[in-house]
Structure formats: structure tokens, C-alpha cells
Amino acid sequence: MVYTVMLGAVFGLAIYAVEAHGQSAETETMPPPASLKTVPVPGLSASELDDLVTDKKAAIQLGKALFWDARVGSDNVTACATCHAHAGADNRIKSQLNPGLLAGDKTFQLGGPNYTLKASDFPLTRHADVNDAATIIGDKNEVVSSQGVFTHSFTDVSRTGGADTCASVSDAVVHGGSGFNVGGINTRRVEPRNTPTMINAVFNFRNFWDGRANNVFNGGDPFGLRNPDTLVWKLENGVLRQVDFSLQFAPLASLASGPPLSENEMSCQDRTFAKLAQKLIGLRPLANQTIAPDDSVLGVRAFAAPTYGALIKRAFRPAYWSSISILNLSAADALKFKTVDLELSRQSRNPGSSLRPQQFNSMEANFALFFGVALQLYQATLIADDTPFDRYAEGQTAALNAQQLRGLAIFRGQGECIHCHAGAELTSASFSNVTGEGRLDQRLGDNGAIFRYDNGFFNTGVRPTADDPGVGGVDPFGHPLSETRMAQSGKTDLLGSRFNESAIAPAALTAVDGAFKTPGLRNVEFTGPYFHNGGKATLMQVVDFYNRGGDFAAKNHPNPDPTIHPLGLTEAQKRDLVAFLLTLSDDRVRFRRAPFDHPSICIPHGQAGDEKSLKANKTGAATDIMVCLPAVGAGGAKAPLSTFLNLDPFQH
């Protein structure tokens, strides 16, 4: 039996033939990926920008300030950057475990909610023979992810810059307990999936591991046209009214509208963007943090904003913020904005929450719009395209040594990496691949059956499919996250961005359950731990995983991609492949040089005590241990970034 797999449009008609016994061969010689510098940066159209933005530079300044400002979090501690401060990802090691909530597991097998990770904990799925998937000798379904906020329900914001007023909720009682407490003392909640880097995320057609940060931004939440409600207010002919709103190709804006209200990541439960606006609009950006004088965006010569409100007025069209009308918004209005939190990771709703009638002005009511667009424009500047590999692809043949070139050949050939990590972006989930080849793809399965799947999303056998549905899950409206299943159910009108694949009849079979978005690989040296569960600590452990054909590919049949099979790489070949992956690091990221420079920030890194005993603070929650990162200007820092746990990338 032969399975045929279509590759990205960037490679024309090249295909792989994958034999039933697991050996593979290229049927055509595939060109190496191009330099990322050759790829246009996707984003808002000129007309969309013109309708919204009056000063793009000011909007980027607003985005960077909001991304790094710890006051965006309900606790005045948690910024977007808190989980994205290390090459755009998170390398903290204490209190970073989720017990496997998406698999229905609330107990910890590895340690506990305040456990400190160590090298010997990895990989989470262990084999007697690293090259043989059938030799599992130990397995833990914990997820290594990012600590967020304590379990609280929202009451109100402070208008003077203080932390939100929130009611403490015992984690031991919500949902029957979700594991984030020790002896009744709450620890910070931990997200149910590992934190991906947001550097180069502008090239993704959808964001989050399961793609739920939609390619269309609706101005209010991550779900694009799937949300039937109108969420944006606009002053038209002197009248403030709600308007139909959609920004095409704005998945970073969709992504940005999720975490600030997430009860796991940044917020007390049931806070709204309008309330966050009331907290921030009158404040000076980053007033409690330090900005380097030569910060490439926020430095003293480039940035002078007395308040966030003033910066919004400078950046955006008056039609979206200038109305003097006062809006009376009900609890039902607040519920139109949907939470990004996955159902099994949430606490139960507090009936005494803040969802009650509120009064807002148009700037406050549209704060999710300003937040999302500003962060999209800022993150669109975070492009790492000056790696040794990019220089090699540009014709500087000496940029890679002999070992790295052997690794590139394996990446393109026997390793089959290029099937999923396609194109200059090194991901088939990229804007150019998805819009070029098509948003749906197909392959042949057993007995000639056709399987359809979302382009760029693959089940690679990292975990049993039942542990986490990935793109096979559902959105808050009950729709499939998978565009394949949306097409099967006739809901293509909700997919936006000129979805038009009606000529390809959807097959009855899908390969979307347990599938996750393929990440890009630049700076992968620094973004461990790896995979959606954070289960591998080093690049060699990742290579071992693919060399043995995944960990649970056989169990997950027929969902895994046919390229997930034993590769037969020797130890020397594996080392060559790791050596090539290290050529994908950009020294501007390594040393935090512009545009990757940043303000200072203090980050929670676990709580005082260990997984068995905690010290409570005056609120009754565990006492944070804070690690502070100094401000870095455009010239960067002297010390380079480290790998996860400071591990050698070649370590098994």
C-alpha cells in the first residue's frame, strides 16, 4: 500500500511516497527552503489599515507597551510577555506543570503544582530503546506549560493603577479541584498546553496549537466570523452604532484578544475588556517598569505618551473612540465576547460575578479592538530572518559547515522534516502555504480511503489522541475548530478570508483528531520544552521521537500523518540533524537586539516552598518567587539566551 501526501505550493507538485512497511523515498528532488527574507509579511490590507489606524508607529508603540505591561494582568504581575519573554516562549522550570486536565486528569504523576523540573524528568514518555516506539518504560501525561494567575473571580478594577479587586476562590472546590493547590493553599494555574513562541507568529494563518485564534479578527474575541454577534462600535454620521466588523488575515489580533481575559493566563474570571480599559486608559504606559533609553520602539526619542488613552487617540481613527455617548451594556452584552479558555481547563462560573449592567464610553467598549490590532502590528515586527541558514539560502555558501549541510540534506530527505516544516517559514501552517496550496489537504489511507485534514495541522503521535483533541475540538459555539469539518458541515461562510474550496468535495473521513499546528523552527534552540505537551527537553529528544516514528502513532491510527514512521537514522545522522537545527537561531534573538529588545519585567517563577508545602501570603494564596529581567535596549544584552534547563541540545 502506498500513501500519497501533497506538499506545499512552494514546492510545486513534489510528493512523498510512503510505503506500508514504513520506508520512504522522495519521488522528486525538492529544493531547499528559501530565506525568510523572501516572504512578504502577511497582515492587514492597506484599506483596512486606513479605516482603522491614523498613525501606525503609534499603534506599534501601543502594542509593545501593552504586551510588556504587567498591569494588563488582574494581579498587576502577569503581562503577555510573562509567558513569552525567552525567545518569545517560556523557559521557567518551577510551577509549570498542568496535571493533564484536557485528558480528564487532575492528579500529578511527576511532582506537584509547585514542582521544580529537572533534566532527569525528560522525556515525559521514556523508552528502553530511544529508536523503538514499542519499548515504552514510563509515561506521564502532565503538560509542561506556563503558570498564569491564581483562581479568582472578578469584582472590579482600580482606576489608580492598582491590582483588580477579585474574590479568592479555593481551587480545591472548583470543578471538584483542578490540582492547583497544596494543602488548600492555591498555586498559580497552569495552561493546558505548552507556550509556543510568538516570534515569527505573524506568518501563521491561524494561531494557538489548535488554530482557534481565527484568521479573521472580529474586533472582540479570538473566534472571527464564528461569533455571530457584533462586537465593535463606530461613530457614523454622528450616531454611535454597532457595526459588522472583520479584518482578514489578522490571526495575531485574534490571538491577542484571548489571554488578557483568560482565567488561566492573565485575568480574574469574568473580567471584560471594557473593564480592563477603565483600569488602563488613564495610566502612563509601563509606569512601574523601566524602558531602556535606546529601546527601538519605546525609547525616549520615539515614545512620549502621557496615558494609554492618549496613545489610542494618536494611533486610531476617531470614529472608534471619540463618541461622547455613554453605553449601557448588560450582562448579555458581556457574554457576547467568548473566552479563549478550553472548557476542561476552566473553573466553574461564580454566580456572583461581575456580569452585571455597566456604563462605558466608546473607547472602553472598543478596547479589545485596539488591543488586538496594536499587538498584531507590534508582533508583525518580530521577524527572525537573519540566521546562518537564511544567509546560506541567500547564497552565502560558507554560512553552514559540512555537518550542518549534512543535517540540511537529512531535513529535506530521509528525515522527512520538510513535509510539515515546509517553505521559508518552516511550517506548512503558514499564510503562504495555506493560501497557496489550499486550506484543506488530503491523503490516502488504508484500502485507498481518502482522509481530509486542515493544512498544516498533524497528529504526530506525541500523546494518545484521547488526551487532547487539538484541532479536532470545538469552539464556544459548538462548531468544529477544524476547517475540514466545518466544510463537511456546510459552514464555509464562517471561515472568512475568501475561503473557496467548494470544488473539492469533502471526504467522509478526516484526520484532524489529535492534530496540532506545525510550529516554525527558527530559534528552536531556545524555545524548549517541545511539542504541545512540552514533553521533550532537548532537540535530540525531538529527533529521537521522529526517528522512532512517534510515541503513540500506532495507537492513534489512522489519524497520524503517514510520514510518522521509523526513519532509520544513525546516531551520527541524528547529530547532523540537530546541528542543522541550531543554524536556525537568529543572533538578534539570542542577544535581545532590536526588534527583540524589551522593557524590564518581573516574572513569577513558582511559589515559596515546594510541591508538598507552601507559604501563604496575606490573601491566603501561595507567595510568589519573582525573577526580574532588566530592560534591554536596541543594542541588546551581553549574555546570550540559554537552552531550556541549560541542557546540551545533543543530549538524549
Residue 352, pLDDT > 60, answer no
Which among 147, 106, 108 is positioned nearest to 624, based on CA atoms?
Answer: 147
Q: Crossing angle of helices 367-379/273-280, nearest 10°? A: 80
Element (H, E) at 154: strand 152-156
Which has the closest alpha carbon to 420: 405, 437, 407, 404?
437
The rounded distance, in Å, linking the Cα atoms of 174 and 341 is 15
Residue 280, phi then psi, degrees to nearest 5: -95, -30
Any idea which residue has 518567587 for its cell?
625
**Sign of the torsion angle spanned by Cα atoms 416, 419, 424, 426:** negative
Of 348, 350, 353, the residue nearest 165 (C-alpha): 353
- Helix 308-315 to helix 367-379 angle (10° resolution) is 70
Mean pLDDT of 462-485: 97
Q: How many CB atoms lie within 10 A of CB 108?
A: 17
Tens of pLDDT, residue by residue over 484-507, are 999 999 898 999 877 877 656 667
As given in the structure block, the three cell numbers for residue 395 are 547564497
pLDDT recorded at residue 477: 96
pLDDT band per the 50, 70, 90 thresholds, residue 353: low
Q: What is the pLDDT of residues 115-141, one digit of tens each?
A: 999 999 999 999 999 999 999 999 999
Selection from 585, 503, 508 nearest residue 539 by Cα: 585
Distance between CA atoms of residues 56 and 321, nearest Å: 16
Report how far residue 152's alpha carbon sits from residue 187's, in angstroms, rounded to the nearest whole number.
Answer: 11
- Contact (Cβ atoms closer than 8 angstroms) between residue 259 and residue 266: yes
Q: In the predicted model, is pLDDT for residue 18 greater than 50?
A: no
3-state secondary structure at position 439: coil
Contact 161, 71 (CB under 8 A): yes
- Please state, in angstroms and rounded to a whole number, the distance separating the CA atoms of residues 151 and 268: 7
pLDDT tens digits, 500-545: 776 566 677 999 999 999 999 999 999 999 999 999 999 999 999 9
pLDDT reported for residue 506: 67
Mean pLDDT throughout 435-457? 90
CB-side exposure of 160: number of CA atoms within 13 Å?
A: 0
Task: Give Cβ neighbours of residue 224 (< 8 Å, ≥ 6 apart).
Answer: 214, 215, 216, 217, 218, 246, 254, 494, 496
User: Cβ distance 244 to 220 under 8 Å?
Assistant: no
pLDDT digits (tens, 9 = 90+) for 372-396: 999 999 999 999 999 999 999 999 9
Q: Which three cell numbers, joined as nine digits, stand for 605?
A: 517563577
Beta bridge partners of 444: 450
Number of neighbouring beta carbons within 10 Å of residue 290 = 13
Q: Where in the chain are the domains?
A: 46-96+145-384+591-643
pTM: 0.94
Q: How far apart are CA 253 and CA 202, in angstroms?
A: 10
Mean pLDDT of all residues belonging to the chain: 91
Closest CA to 632 of 590, 604, 603: 590
Instruction: Provide the pLDDT for residue 348.
Output: 67
pLDDT, tens digit, for every residue of 181-195? 998 899 999 999 999
The answer to which of 19-28, 163-172, 174-183 has the lowest mean pLDDT is 19-28
Q: Is 512 exposed, middle or buried (0-12, 13-18, 19+ CB in 10 A)?
A: buried
pLDDT band at 355 (very low <50, low <70, confident <90, very high): low
- pLDDT tens for 323-335 read 999 999 988 898 8
Name 359's bridge partners: 328
pLDDT, tens digit (0-9, with 9 covering 90-100), for 87-100: 999 999 999 999 99
Q: What is the mean pLDDT of residues 259-278?
A: 96
The pLDDT value given to residue 347: 76
Tell me what pLDDT residue 171 has: 86
Helix, strand, coil percentages, rounded to 5, for the chain = 30, 15, 55
CB 200 within 8 Å of CB 382 = yes
Alpha-carbon span 260 to 268, nearest angstrom: 10
Predicted pLDDT of residue 463: 98
CB 356 within 8 A of CB 495: no
Helix (H, G, I), strand (E, B) or coil at 559: coil
Distance in angstroms (rounded) separating the CA atoms of residues 440 and 418 = 18
pLDDT at 28: 39
Model confidence pLDDT, tens digit, residues 25-77: 443 346 778 999 999 999 999 999 999 999 999 999 999 999 999 999 999 99
HSE, side-chain direction, 13 A CA sphere, residue 117: 30
Whether 7 has a pLDDT exceeding 70, the answer reads no
φ/ψ of 24, rounded to 5, equals -135, 155
| pLDDT above 80: residue 170 | yes
Q: Please answer whether residues 590 and 640 qualify as being in contact, where contact means their C-beta atoms are separated by less than 8 angstroms.
A: yes
Cell numbers for 139: 509515561
The pLDDT value recorded for residue 508 is 79
354 has pLDDT over 90: no
- For residue 394, which phi and psi values (nearest 5 degrees)? -85, 0
Measure the CA–CA gap between 69 and 384, rounded to whole angstroms: 23
Helix axes 402-412, 571-581, angle to 10 degrees: 100
pLDDT tens across 176-228, in order? 678 899 988 999 999 999 999 999 999 999 999 999 999 999 999 999 999 99
Q: What is the pLDDT of residue 350?
A: 55
Of 122 and 173, the one with more pLDDT: 122
